């Protein structure tokens, strides 16, 4: 028997007429975006090296220490209730009728979840997708049931490989992290399409980024590093961020970090830690403000504690009426969510 292989293969190939390839400008845009992400991966590596070189970094690697993180800041967003990092393993919880574990399907890409938020039933998780030597995936995923997670489109995802925190607002979502030029923030109305916010970070460098953000009655605050020292930013709408007053007050003689912002009766308070160089111990430090613009060092010393901004103080839990409580485990496998209560 003889068959016309050329014709047969042609028939199969004709099925490609049903699919649509992108316009060339979109192909180039994706390629350019990927190149920027590679540069970000290098920047993320620099951040890690810098963190390891500081007292804050020592908290990341000192597993024998007894971490005493400051209490997470309750989000003013009613759908969020941050809690300390859970200690039970997913297997134990699943075996005892506890929350069900669902993986965030990330395809070939690495993803280590950092924070979660929900608004109107739409969940959003953000995290670290950096992977040296390989293509990085998106740093954001969204879901309407906390089970099936999807990535934003290639053009709708934050141009980042490390988004450290996310909160829900009346208008949508706000997120912060590491951008192409250091500290970066994004906003989204639906969690699927993200727009870069303008971040005024005059001292920005390769190791600078934003660690977290929260909402207060004086507006939004985000904290992180700028110019190698702790920095605090403020925004009224989440789309434009400016330094919250004179940043020199946050630049202490030793390594320092802002860990959280909490509201007191007298105004917002920034809680942080300062670690003498070459020391394994840190000291509590706080800054206070009456109006959110002028900050003063309120307390120089206190109980020894550790502050691990990206792993301990992010928004680790979110609730929606339809799904219930959804929790992430930033110290676990990295790409799992726990749905349900116990």
Q: In the bound complex, what is the minimum distance in angstroms from residue 23's beta carbon to another protein?
A: 9
Q: Which is nearer to another protein, 36 or 229 (CB)?
A: 36
Which is closer to another protein, CB of 286 or CB of 335?
A: 335
CB of 197 to another protein, least distance (A): 27
CB closer to another protein, 37 vs 119: 37
Nearer to another protein, 28 or 342 (CB): 28
- Measured from the CB atom, the residue of 30 and 61 that comes closer to another protein is 30
Give the Cα separation of 186 and 77 in Å (integer). 18
What is the nearest approach in angstroms of another protein to the Cβ of residue 36? 11
Q: What is the DSSP string of 131-152?
A: -TTS----SEEEESSSSS-BPP
C-alpha to C-alpha distance for 28 and 16, rounded to whole angstroms: 22
Nearest of 104, 101, 102 to residue 127 by alpha carbon:
104
- Look at the chain and count its residues: 342
Residue number with CB closer to another protein (5 or 248): 5
Name the β-bridge partners of 210. 224
Give the shortest CB-134-to-another protein separation in angstroms.
12
DSSP states of 185-248 as a string?
A: EEEESSSSS-EEPEE--TT--TT--EEEEEEETTEEEEEEEETTEEEEEEESSSSEEEE-S-GG
Report in angstroms how near the CB of residue 68 gets to another protein at its nearest. 42
Q: Is the dihedral of CA 316, 317, 318, 324 positive or negative?
A: positive
Distances (CA, A) of 335 to 92, 114, 127: 18, 9, 9
Least CB distance from residue 111 to another protein, whole Å?
15
Name the site residues for another protein (rule: CB under 8 A).
1-16, 18-22, 24-25, 27-28, 30-32, 34-35, 105, 107-108
């Amino acid at each position: 028997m003889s068959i016309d292989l050329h014709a047969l293969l042609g028939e199969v190939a004709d099925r490609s007429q049903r699919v649509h390839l992108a316009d060339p400008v979109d192909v180039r845009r994706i390629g350019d975006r990927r190149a920027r992400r590679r540069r970000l991966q290098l920047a993320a590596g620099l951040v890690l090296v810098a963190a390891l070189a500081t007292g804050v970094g020592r908290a990341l690697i000192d597993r024998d220490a007894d971490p005493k993180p400051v209490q997470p800041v309750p989000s003013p967003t009613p759908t969020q209730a941050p809690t300390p990092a859970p200690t039970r393993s997913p297997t134990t919880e699943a075996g005892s009728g506890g929350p069900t574990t669902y993986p965030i399907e990330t395809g070939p890409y690495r993803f280590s979840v950092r924070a979660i938020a929900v608004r109107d039933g739409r969940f959003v998780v953000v995290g670290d997708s950096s992977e040296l030597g390989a293509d990085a995936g998106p740093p954001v995923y969204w879901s309407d049931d906390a089970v099936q997670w999807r990535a934003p489109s290639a053009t709708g995802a934050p141009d980042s490989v490390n988004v450290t925190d996310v909160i829900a607002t009346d208008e949508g979502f706000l997120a912060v992290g590491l951008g192409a030029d250091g500290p970066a923030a994004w906003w989204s109305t639906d969690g699927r399409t993200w727009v870069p916010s303008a971040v005024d970070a005059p001292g920005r460098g390769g190791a600078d980024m934003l660690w977290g953000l929260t909402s207060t009655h004086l507006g939004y605050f985000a904290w992180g590093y700028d110019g190698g020292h702790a920095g605090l930013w403020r925004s009224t709408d989440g789309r434009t961020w400016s330094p919250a007053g004179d940043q020199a007050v946050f630049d202490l003689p030793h390594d320092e970090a802002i860990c959280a912002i909490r509201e007191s009766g007298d105004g917002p308070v920034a809680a942080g830690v300062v670690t003498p160089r070459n020391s394994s111990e840190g000291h509590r430090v706080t800054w206070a403000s009456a109006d959110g613009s002028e900050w003063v060092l309120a307390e120089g010393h206190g109980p020894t504690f550790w502050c691990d901004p990206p792993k301990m103080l992010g928004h680790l839990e979110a609730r929606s009426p339809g799904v219930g409580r959804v929790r992430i485990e930033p110290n676990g496998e990295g790409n799992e969510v726990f749905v349900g209560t116990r």
